[in-house]
Amino acid sequence: MKVIVDLDACQGYACCMMEAPEVFDLDEDAGKVLLLVESPSEGLRTKTEAAVRACPAKALKLED
């Protein structure tokens, strides 16, 4: 599983970080998401999928 981030679309809402803090952080200077883990383990799949759904800007995608 690989996380794809569209930084142009990201608006820095940080919803992703609230759903999966192991995978996402917020770069406060840039006001954009900071990807902590590019390929999360299967144990983080549920949280990572929730983060992708939670993004209001549709800036996150998962690839298997």
Question: Is there binding between residue 3 and ligand SF4 (CB under 6 A)?
Answer: no
Interatomic CA distance for residues 49 and 58, integer angstroms: 12
Question: Is there binding between residue 52 and ligand SF4 (CB under 6 A)?
Answer: no
Question: Is there binding between residue 23 and ligand SF4 (CB under 6 A)?
Answer: no
Question: For ligand SF4, what does the binding mask look like between residues 30 and 49, x meaning CB under 6 A?
Answer: ---x----------------
Interatomic CA distance for residues 39 and 23, integer angstroms: 9
**In which residue are the tokens 């800007």 written?**
57
Q: How far is the CB of 43 from ligand SF4 (least distance, A)?
A: 21
Q: Tell me the C-alpha to C-alpha distance, in Å, between residue 44 and each of 8, 30, 33, 58, 63.
A: 25, 26, 18, 19, 14
Q: Binding residues for ligand SF4, per CB under 6 A?
A: 10-16, 33, 55, 57, 59-60
